[in-house]
Amino acid sequence: MDKERFTMLLLEPGEIFFEDYSVSVKALINPLAGDSEWTNGRLKLCSKSLVFVNKDLNKPLIKVQLKEMICTEKWNTASWDARNNNILSVKCKQYVEMLQGNVLAPHKFVHKPEHYLFRFNYATIEDCLPQILQLLRAATLPMAEQNAMITAIVHSRQSRISFDTSWLEDLYEQVVLEVQADKISPLVVNPGRVLLTSSRIYFQPYNNMDQHPVLKIQLKDISQIIKRRFLLRQVGLEIEWRTRRTEDKKKHLFLSMRSQIDRDNLYSSLLNQTEVRPETIQQNQMTMLWQNGTLSNYDYLLYINSLADRTFHDLTQYPVFPWIIQDYSSASLELSNPAVYRDLDKPIGALEPIRLERLKERYAEMTEPKFLYGSHYSAPGFVLFYLVRKYPQYMLCLQNGRFDHPDRMFNSVADVWKNVLVNMSDFKELVPEFYDTETAGDFLTNNYGIDFGYRHDGSKVDDVHLPPWATGPSDFIYKLRSALESPYVSQNLHNWIDLVFGYKQRGPQAVEANNVFFHLCYEGAVDLDTIQDINDRHGLEVQIMEFGQIPKQVFDLPHPKKILSIPRTIRDLKTRTPSDRCFLSDETISEVTKLRLSNTFQSHKDMVSCVSVTAGGTGDDLISVGHDGMLKLYSIKTGKLTRSVSLSSLPLSSCASYKPLSESNILVAGCWDNTIIFYDVEFGRIVDTLNGHEDAISCLAWSSARNILVSGSWDCTAKVWRSYNLGKKIRPTEYLTAQLDHDAKITCITISRDDKLLASGTEDGELFLWCLEQFSLQFTIKGHTARVNAASFDGESKKLVSCAKDLALKVLDVQTGTQIYSSVLEVEPTSLFWYDTELLLVGDAQGDLHIWDFRGILIVGKYQCHNGPITTITASSDKKKIITGGKDKKVIIWDRG
């Protein structure tokens, strides 16, 4: 457990945390752990309870629910000195102990009376007691009236507080809008204020429970803004953004407003800011991408869930995924056999004929409004049923400090599947984690070592029992993902989409498809804002929340079917999974490519940063530059080092070669002192130095067809220079053709083989595609969550591959900007070179060179090259030799075949 043990998940779902006080406590009836002296800690004032957090991490937290209090008053006694007049007396019928020994376990309910004295160290009892008494009055009311009174108290407190403008990042920011809002996370509501300015959006909570006193989001970092439902009302807004720090990934802020008007005002105000440029793709375009195989079934289901108001940040509307496999007993899983798949044309409750007939008999005897299923396929309890091992604190919060009975827990995949087929009240579908290869089934193992108890047969509840065909959680998830992306599922998935998100969701089509649920779980079935009686409203809220909600209907017409007759090179990009990648036999490898070590040079004294092949000549010559400031020339034909030149006392980051009009070979190197250095091979001297940037040069690229040099820099610009001619002094204003601005440091650039496109990658994970004819920006993609290490165009200049520090390898279609393929590798990919139309060379941080065949997304070769990261890869013009450079100071030449 963390050192700060108190979280709002220790409270009731949705309970509000108000204040925090430094106190000492004494228990008069049952002294704390046998200690009758004062004990130091913190007192948390919450809307339905008081929680004492003991300073000793091994002692339990004590929670006293307000409804269990007998007497709460200022403690007065003549026998105590004046210093002790600042004491709160709390008598209760029972109390709860949590996190005993700082171990996450079910809460201990102590059914004994207790009398606590809380002595305030800094605050006065007059600051605290009126608030407690006000909340205590609310606790005496029925639940609906209690919640209404607490809401009024929260609203009153919010109304008296304004956003603290001293937290503004920039004094010149213009305030656009300020509004009350709650920050929503699973089972937790944290009230605060939202401030929108011309450059940022801020959330300031009223308490100190968040990681930061004020959350600050730059508007230019926002990638999506989505309207959401929250507790059946159109008051939610979800903001997705990416931070500029390379180690951070995509983040979300889920807000709930007081009314739909407040929500819509904030939404429109955000979109009206010039710095907000959300990534938007039309719904029909996304469907077409899925139809044509450029979007996986997994990603498309996530997209549809989002359209239907399903989000990972609200357990009442968690994304829903289908059961795909129905065979959980065989020793092996044959995905080419249709018999292993569930019938996606039927809802989960209609898969077993005998049960369905019994349900239909009951349905026929009902009065209107009728329902076929008395339970749902997605509800908070069902979500946590699957995820309790990963999020045990959520289950304890939802179930009043208790786990479910051991026999009713998620113990076996096969047992759960059997139950959803035959049980008259179990119709659960799955959650996305069953198909998420990145988390690799971490929710299936008891990683926290939680004591969940023992089943009726004496067996201890621990990890989930997997089917015989799975060797472990990761293998289980990979095989389920393979099944989800299989041709059978691709041919039939539209039928399940029709049932859950489409035209068979309601009406006569739902009746015909045996897809009818309780009427209140459908969107629009009830308008809570029109219900005046708070008890009726509360009853409806509880009923619908616990039962589950039908997703918002996304499609009114039958969903189109996926097109399977597409080129294999495209289809396999998304249907293969990491579990399909394998190393082929040596015989098969030789048919594609096989490498043989030719020469190894250890001529640099520091890391080799770039290798390049010289332009023109009778035979290829090789150049390398390194962090030792040296430029080296090698003869590929003889395999010898021919020249060694010191160009700078600072590291050289990149190099290129070209032939100007004078026919001399000019070598160009980029340096960390912000300069581009020009070296004449024939005369063996530096002929000029161009101070081209405001910060270090990070990368260079040369276009022979256009006779231009492109330099990328840490100053966030890429500059295009016309070719340098010998004998003339370089003047930046004369030679600069274009400047391409970026939002972060440029880490790599590459030019397409048809010399029409330039791609650049940045420190914050963005990819930019530029047209070299007009030097215009074609599109920007936030393809990665960390620094882009390398990018390369394929031989036909139709695809762009990139790799990054986030371990991801991604392939983009350069015409549409859509992602064709994405994979997270085990080791960070550090360098790339697209060898020909279908072969890609990938160097990684461990020094291995991988050869990928993109006709089938297979690794067809792997070679241990360097002792450490491979920093650069290139090939001779005839493609018979491959050259690698590494952090181990080596340059290695490989022969193909």
Res 575 pLDDT > 50: no
What percent of the chain has pLDDT above 70? Answer: 90
Q: What is the pLDDT of residues 794-831, one digit of tens each?
A: 888 888 999 999 888 888 888 777 777 777 788 899 99
Average pLDDT of 171-195?
89
Instruction: Say if domain 8-140 classifies as CATH 3.40.1260.10.
Output: no
* CATH topology for the 581-896 domain: Methylamine Dehydrogenase; Chain H (2.130.10)
127 vs 344, higher pLDDT:
344
Closest CA to 836 of 853, 819, 850: 853
Q: What band does 210 get if pLDDT is binned at 50, 70 and 90?
A: low
> How do the domains of the chain map onto residue ranges?
8-140, 161-280, 297-575, 581-896
What's the CA gap between 609 and 655, in Å, rounded?
Answer: 9
Q: Which of 520, 518, 516, 552 is closest to 539 using CA atoms?
A: 520
Contact partners, residue 82, CB within 8 Å, separation at least 6:
none
Closest CA to 828 of 808, 853, 812: 808
The superfamily (CATH) of domain 297-575 is BEACH domain (1.10.1540.10)
Q: Are 793 and 835 in contact (CB under 8 A)?
A: no
Spatial contact of 228 and 552, defined as CB atoms under 8 Å apart: no
Same fold: 161-280 with 581-896: no
Q: Which residues pair with 833 in a beta bridge?
A: 841
Q: Please tell me the predicted confidence (pLDDT) of residue 685.
A: 87
Element containing residue 17 per DSSP (H, E): strand 17-27
Angle between helices 380-387 and 534-547 (to 10 degrees): 40
216 in Cβ contact with 169 (< 8 Å): yes
CATH T-level fold of 161-280? PH-domain like (2.30.29)
> Is the Cβ–Cβ distance between 486 and 297 less than 8 Å?
no
Residues 148, 156: contact at Cβ < 8 Å?
no
Q: At what angle do helices 297-307 and 487-500 cross, to 10 degrees?
A: 10
Per-residue tokens: 398? 């939802």
**Residue 150: band (very low, low, confident or very high) from pLDDT cuts 50, 70, 90:** confident
734-792: per-residue pLDDT in tens?
A: 788 899 999 999 999 999 988 899 999 999 999 999 999 888 888 888 878 899 999 99
- 3-state SS of 556-604? CCCCCCCCCCCCHHHHHHHHCCHHHCCCCCHHHHHHHCCEEEEEEECCC
* pLDDT, tens only, 3-40: 578 988 999 888 889 888 999 998 887 765 555 688 99
Q: Which token pair is 754?
A: 């048809």
For the chain, the residue count is 897
Q: Which residues contact 79 (CB under 8 A, 6 or more apart)?
A: none
